[in-house]
């Protein structure tokens, strides 16, 4: 399972319809939170994502609309009896941020906060996947993130193995692991009965940014790109000045990167009544695009073959 839940999709200011930025990813039961704007824990309750299995928080930058939900979330987890350490990753100064959280006297935390400063290009290796920090272009130091699953072993051709004289049982497992086996004096190799490696899934989250080459390269053939789409193209000068992206710019990047799906987020409060102009603008460039809504969920399925 790889499920994305949009807890907050607004840009800078909350509205009645949109909370500030927060995205939960559930990978095989492990929860990872990307940004944590004000009210994120209440959104987690509404979405029923849970929080006990939250392993890490990944901060893109230190603007208030991306971090103000963290103090309350930490206190709630402590009240619930959490004892496991919580990892908080982010750009430079995340150590200082975590120190301040821990030093606040009213917390009395039952668990440790393990802060990790990231530089663009850093890779966090985990069991079956990795998180890559990506350089972005915003008004303060910032990073985006790519969750990239490891390649999966190819499919085992049972019928072909039997045809080659391999009896069902332990030898099947050896071949599937890539080890050769000997049958009736003949060596059977893995390549004869195991297909091409199958791709893992890839999700890229830009955070707040102008379109940039680093996000483009990280997004190549991604299953899902979640990109800043604060404004429509008629506000492009303001987008440039505030270091955000327009819907059209995000769609152009998604098209060039050959992503499967684009979801636009960080929607300005000026579109609180109607975000349709952003969707129409993006669809002129890239068809498979959606405007993120609070509490929306998206499941990313496994693919058998790499995208062409």
Residue 15 to residues 1, 10, 65, 261, Cα–Cα distance (Å): 31, 7, 12, 26
Distance CA(114)–CA(75), nearest Å, equals 15
Distance CA(79)–CA(209), nearest Å, equals 35
Burial letters for 44-59: b for 16+ Cβ neighbours within 10 Å, e otherwise?
A: beebebebeebebbbb
Q: Give me the residues paired with residue 114 across strands.
A: 87
Distance CA(192)–CA(243), nearest Å, equals 53
Task: Determine which one of 35, 65, 228, 294 is catalytic.
Answer: 65
Distance CA(147)–CA(32), nearest Å, equals 10
Active site residue 65: yes
Would you name the residues annotated as active-site residues?
A: 65
């Amino acid at each position: 399972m790889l499920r994305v839940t949009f807890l907050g999709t607004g840009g800078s200011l909350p509205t009645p319809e949109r909370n500030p930025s927060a995205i939960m990813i559930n990978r095989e039961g492990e929860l990872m939170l990307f940004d944590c704007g004000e009210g994120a824990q209440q959104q987690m309750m509404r979405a029923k994502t849970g929080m006990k299995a939250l392993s890490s928080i990944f901060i893109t930058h230190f603007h208030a609309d991306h971090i103000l939900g963290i103090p309350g979330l930490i206190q709630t987890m402590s009240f619930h009896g959490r004892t496991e350490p919580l990892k908080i990753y982010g750009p430079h100064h995340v150590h200082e941020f975590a120190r301040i959280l821990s030093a606040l006297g009213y917390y009395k935390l039952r668990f440790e906060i393990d802060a990790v400063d990231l530089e663009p290009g850093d890779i966090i290796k985990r069991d079956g996947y990795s998180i890559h920090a990506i350089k972005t272009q915003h008004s303060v130091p910032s990073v985006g993130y790519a969750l990239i699953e490891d390649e999966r072993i190819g499919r085992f051709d049972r019928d072909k193995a039997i045809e080659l004289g391999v009896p069902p049982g332990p030898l099947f497992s050896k071949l599937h692991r890539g080890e050769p086996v000997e049958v009736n004096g003949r060596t059977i190799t893995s390549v004869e009965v195991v297909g091409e490696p199958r791709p893992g899934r890839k999700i890229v989250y830009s955070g707040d940014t102008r379109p940039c080459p680093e996000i483009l390269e990280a997004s190549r053939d991604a299953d899902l790109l979640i990109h800043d789409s604060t404004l429509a193209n008629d506000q492009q000068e303001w987008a440039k000045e505030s270091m955000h992206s327009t819907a059209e710019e995000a769609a152009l990047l998604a098209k060039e990167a050959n992503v499967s799906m684009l979801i636009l987020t960080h929607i300005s409060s000026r579109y609180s009544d109607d975000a349709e102009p952003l969707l129409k603008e993006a669809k002129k460039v890239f068809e498979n695009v959606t405007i993120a809504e609070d509490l929306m969920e998206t499941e990313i399925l496994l693919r058998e073959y790499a995208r062409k």
